Amino acid sequence: MNPEVEPEITFMRALEEDVVSNFRAYREDTVSQTARRNFIRSECAYVEGMVWFFKKLVRSHIEDQRVSVDGEIKLYLFDFDFKVARSGKIEKKEKRLPTIDNLKALLKNCGEIYGYEVGLGKTGWSELQDTFRVRDRIMHPSSDKAITVSEAEMETGIRGHEWFGSERSKLLQILKNF
């Protein structure tokens, strides 16, 4: 692995430790709404961080000319978009995508670039999407019920976490050995 990404690896480990710690807290008190919310939030933060990290690794492969990709994929991976200013000058601007869309694009494009099968059709993918909907609801509540995470939502979040862990491991192994 590229030594330049060592700080990011430390960062990703910290996010992963949050998920593990919050899952442990949930297992110790399965009725705690705080533990449930903390697990959901930390899982989503971990996914967001991993998307950023994987995009950085793929960009380094492009820059090192280990892989070649089309322009549209480069724009996506480098998080850029362009706009035309009133003056007619082309300006670069940062692109912001919803995490689930970003993850889907990352996995699909990495599958094509590196030649592996992506598990987007699997149940865990839909459960991860559901987990992000729960996270959005508890982060932007409109009522006291909005911050309640049900047992079914926790089970969905755990299965989404397991699916993501499998996809993460698969992609990390490919990127490390490429």
Domain positions in the chain: 3-66+96-177
* pLDDT above 90 (res 106): yes
* pLDDT above 90 (res 178): no
* pLDDT above 90 (res 81): no
46: left (phi over 0), alpha (psi -120 to 50) or beta: alpha
Helices 151-177 & 123-139 angle (0-180, nearest 10): 120
CA–CA distance, 122 with 172 (Å, rounded to integer):
19
Contacts of 66 (CB under 8 A, 6+ apart): 178
Q: What mean pLDDT, rounded, does the chain reach?
A: 92
- Per-residue pLDDT tens over the stretch 127-159: 999 999 999 999 999 999 999 999 999 999 999
